[in-house]
Amino acid sequence: MNLIPVDVDSIRIGHPLPFHLVDKDGVLLARKSFVIASRADLATIAQRGGGLFIDGVDGETLHRAYVDQLHVLMRAEKSIGEIAGSKLDAGAAIKRAPPDNVQTDWLDLQLQAHHTLREVHASSFPERLEQLHQKLNQAIARNADSALFALIHLASSETTMYSSTHAMLVSAMCGLASRDVLNWTVQHETTVRKAALTMNISIADLQDKLAAQTTDIDEIQRKQLVGHADRSADLLASLGVGEPDWLAAVRLHHTAQAGALSSKVPAHRFARLIERADIFAARLSPRGVRPPVSPAAAMQACYFDENRQVDEAGAALIKSVGIYPPGTYVKLATNEIATVIRRSANTSMPRVAVIVNRNGIPTVEPIVRETSLKDFRVVNSVAAHEVRVKIQLDRMLALTQAPATDRIVW
């Protein structure tokens, strides 16, 4: 590993680290996206590691950002002294790094969301949340199938960092439905995504505990859940969020009424969409006391309202992510078990990758199938806990790319 020293003054306190920090021997000191709370904490980390260092690959990005910064100072006609004394803000490097050809590190993004939604400080929260929102939105814009696969896989296969993964999945689903099906304005799409990310900010720690515990919820925990939507909205307001529709959507995300979205004011539309996505994502996720339900059951709960009528918001969500969303599992007519890797124009005919053959044996390599073909049609969805194969996330995400890279077996 080619290590490059980092000036401690370039590290922004209270903001997610843009790169892993390591010691002089390359041993990890602080993960990318970790938030250093104070200068004293930073000094302790630096002293323990004999200085702060980053990998040379990350150093190249920092160097490009520093050169860009010098050009900005020169165009602004700053003095030679100011230019010579300038220091790079390491946190800004990640903003200037080109997004093209960059694959999302979903485990890092999950960790960033975890810290952002649990470690809330008025001085840094708005900027940290904006960074998280932008990264998630960029990942979806690059490849929505890949984003859905990663989030649904993480949500349905583990209980760690449940609150952050759940928030990102609901935000992604609401963003896709509002843009691709409901044709909302960019402003409304942005608002509903941010409201979904922050809807449970007052109980993030409790949600993580409840997801992992192997006993039923107790009375104290039940009381903590009551009124959390109001407390989340109040907390957001204290942290600097001033957009009324955002706060109202958070406040109403468990009490939004059924009915045509066109008859509702924007905040109530946002709340209803969030509520239906929340139901789907929650039922798809495991708990210490129960396994996740099948995607079909989760979708049914989302699709029908309290009166067993088709819910407009729920229907929009299903149209946007598909009846069999990426990251879920299905059984084919061939008796093979596959994971969905891409949506298609027909929501019931996704592209899939077989991971268990017809004899019940895991495949050496995933085999891509087109379920629009009768021989490979989807028979039913399969709950994640019923699949005894542990998939490699990065390997499967590669299959969500353009079809030209797929190995299709007809």
Domain end marker among 50, 77, 96: 96
Do 115 and 239 share a domain, yes or no? yes
Do 149 and 245 share a domain, yes or no? yes
Give the span between the Cα atoms of 253 and 196, in whole angstroms.
9
Kindly give, in sequence order, each residue whose CB lies less than 8 Å from that of residue 73, ignoring residues fewer than 6 positions away: 82, 83, 86
Give the span between the Cα atoms of 352 and 291, in whole angstroms.
23
Dihedral of CA 115/118/121/127: which sign? positive
Do 79 and 111 share a domain, yes or no? no
First to last CA, the chain: 44
Contact criterion met (CB below 8 Å) for 126 and 98: no
φ and ψ at 339, to 5 degrees? -110, 140
Residue 201 domain boundaries: 106-321
Do 167 and 261 share a domain, yes or no? yes
**Would residue 130 count as lying in a domain?**
yes
Q: Which amino acid is at 367?
A: I
Query: Could you tell me the CA-to-CA distances from 137 to 64, 143, 202 in Å, in that order?
Result: 24, 10, 23
Q: At 3, is the secondary structure helix, strand, or coil?
A: strand
In 3D space, the residue among 122, 118, 124, 128 whose CA is nearest the CA of residue 236 turns out to be: 122
**How do strand 337-342 and strand 362-370 relate by DSSP bridges?**
unpaired
**Would residue 357 count as lying in a domain?**
yes
**Would residue 410 count as lying in a domain?**
no
φ and ψ at 119, to 5 degrees? -105, 80
96-130, pLDDT tens digit by residue?
Answer: 444 444 678 999 999 999 999 988 887 889 999 99
Question: Looking at the 3D structure of the chain, how many domains does it have?
Answer: 3
Do 203 and 141 share a domain, yes or no? yes
Do 283 and 313 share a domain, yes or no? yes
In 3D space, the residue among 18, 34, 202 whose CA is nearest the CA of residue 118 turns out to be: 202
What confidence score (pLDDT) does residue 69 get?
47
232-284, pLDDT tens digit by residue?
Answer: 999 999 999 999 999 999 999 999 989 899 999 999 999 999 999 999 999 98
What confidence score (pLDDT) does residue 307 get?
85
Kindly give, in sequence order, each residue whose CB lies less than 8 Å from that of residue 390, ignoring residues fewer than 6 positions away: none
- For residue 356, the cross-strand partners are 337, 362
Domain end marker among 62, 96, 130: 96
For tokens 């370039």, name the residue: 10
**Would residue 279 count as lying in a domain?**
yes
Q: Looking at residue 247, which CATH number applies to its domain? A: 1.10.3210.10
Give the span between the Cα atoms of 191 and 181, in whole angstroms.
16
Residue pLDDT tens, the chain, 410 long: 456 777 776 677 777 777 778 777 777 788 777 788 887 888 888 887 778 877 654 544 454 444 444 444 444 454 545 444 444 444 444 334 444 446 789 999 999 999 999 888 878 899 999 999 999 999 999 899 999 999 999 998 888 899 999 999 999 999 999 999 999 999 999 999 999 999 999 999 999 899 888 888 889 999 989 999 999 999 999 999 999 999 999 999 999 989 899 999 999 999 999 999 999 999 988 887 788 888 888 888 999 988 889 999 999 999 999 999 999 999 999 999 999 999 988 888 999 999 999 999 999 899 999 999 999 999 999 988 899 888 889 989 999 985 544 433 33
Dihedral of CA 39/42/43/44: which sign? positive
Kindly provide the residue ranges of all beta strands, DSSP E only, lying in 153-194, ordered along the sequence.
Answer: none
Domain end marker among 270, 292, 321: 321
**How do strand 21-22 and strand 351-356 relate by DSSP bridges?**
unpaired
Kindly give, in sequence order, each residue whose CB lies less than 8 Å from that of residue 316, ignoring residues fewer than 6 positions away: 177, 178, 181, 182, 273
- Predicted TM-score (pTM) of this structure: 0.73
In 3D space, the residue among 59, 58, 51, 62 whose CA is nearest the CA of residue 27 turns out to be: 51
Give the span between the Cα atoms of 208 and 153, in whole angstroms.
17
**Would residue 393 count as lying in a domain?**
yes
Do 90 and 129 share a domain, yes or no? no
Q: How many helices (H) and strands (E) does the chain have?
A: 17, 9
Tokens for 257, please give them: 């009424």
Do 15 and 115 share a domain, yes or no? no
> What is the CA angle 138-197-384, rounded to 5?
85
Q: At what angle do helices 106-118 and 186-198 cross, to 10 degrees?
A: 70
